[in-house]
Amino acid sequence: MIMTENDHQKTAHKTVPSAADNSLHINQLSVLRGMVLVISNLSHRQSAGDICCLTGPNGAGKSTLLRTIAGRLPAAAGDITCAVPITYVGHTDGLSGAISGRENLAGWAKINGFPATENAIDAALSSFATNRFADLPARVLSRGQRRRLALARLALTPASSLWLLDEPNAGLDQESSRILDEFVQKHATAGGMVLAATHLDFAAAAQPRSLHLPGLVT
């Protein structure tokens, strides 16, 4: 399992099917937030090449679902199976402000066992046009620049990965959003999967599927 922040704990509900099954399976999943049931009996399946937008009102459990799939939150019931690497990019960027964007990316790559050569890091930085500010301390960067650095990590992941993206285009300008859309579509074409929670247009040209969380009536 691969994450963008320093939390690599797997939850007990997660099992791994045959490596030949490059799919995400969610079966009758229920998740609590505190003592409140946020997700109830949710089932969902994605296959290689699928892009899916996670929609729903505030508080419906979109971020909770992504964090549960990533292994950051436990499930109250049900199970999740996924045989491919998982990369989670939360709505916070997970960057250390004291070091440069390049150092952040290199450190993340090493922690997760990805190539951290100068060429690999340069290519990842180039994927989201971050080279111009990659050597500045992350704390001096704008929100959009930090977001682009966080997303540049995706360029280091295996082609088959499941990307879990929480509001990935928040804070991005039009050109950066276009780059993100193209990057996501390329990942899907190569056999990867994407599940993204967003209130904005996302990879519209790829006609992504939709998974709607209506929220629970209390």
The pLDDT tens digits of the residues spanning 137-146 come to: 999 999 999 9
The tokens of 137 are what?
């301390």
Q: Give the span between the Cα atoms of 213 and 101, in whole angstroms.
A: 34
Q: Which residues contact 18 (CB under 8 A, 6 or more apart)?
A: 83
Q: Which residues contact 149 (CB under 8 A, 6 or more apart)?
A: 93, 95, 101, 104, 105, 125, 128, 130, 134, 138, 141
Domain assignment of residue 26, yes or no: yes
Domain assignment of residue 92, yes or no: yes
Burial of 172 (0-12, 13-18, 19+ CB in 10 A): buried
CATH number of the domain where residue 69 is located: 3.40.50.300
Domain assignment of residue 8, yes or no: no
CA atoms within 13 A on the CB side of 150: 31
pLDDT digits (tens, 9 = 90+) for 43-79: 999 999 999 999 999 889 999 999 999 999 999 999 9
Domain assignment of residue 142, yes or no: yes
Other residues' Cβ atoms within 10 Å of the Cβ of residue 68: 27
Sign, CA torsion 127/128/129/130:
negative
Residue 10 has pLDDT above 70, yes or no: no
* Across 1-15, 93-107, 204-218, least confident range: 1-15
DSSP 3-state helix, strand, coil percentages of the chain (rounded to 5)?
Answer: 30, 25, 45
Residue 5 has pLDDT above 70, yes or no: no
Domain assignment of residue 3, yes or no: no
Other residues' Cβ atoms within 10 Å of the Cβ of residue 12: 9
For residue 183, CA distances in Å to 68, 73, 126, 128 come to: 24, 28, 12, 9
pLDDT digits (tens, 9 = 90+) for 164-186: 999 999 999 999 999 999 999 99
For β-strands 36-47 and 51-55, DSSP reports them as unpaired
Structural domain including 169 reads: 14-212
| Number of domains into which the chain is organized | 1
Domain assignment of residue 124, yes or no: yes
Q: pTM here?
A: 0.88
- Nearest CA among 120, 115, 86 for reference residue 4: 86
Q: What are phi and psi of 45, to 5 degrees?
A: -135, 140
DSSP 31: E
Q: Give the span between the Cα atoms of 125 and 122, in whole angstroms.
A: 5
Domain assignment of residue 5, yes or no: no
The tokens of 35 are what?
């003592």
Q: Each residue of 95-117: b (16+ CB within 10 Å) or e?
A: beeeebbbbbbbebbeebebebe
Domain assignment of residue 137, yes or no: yes
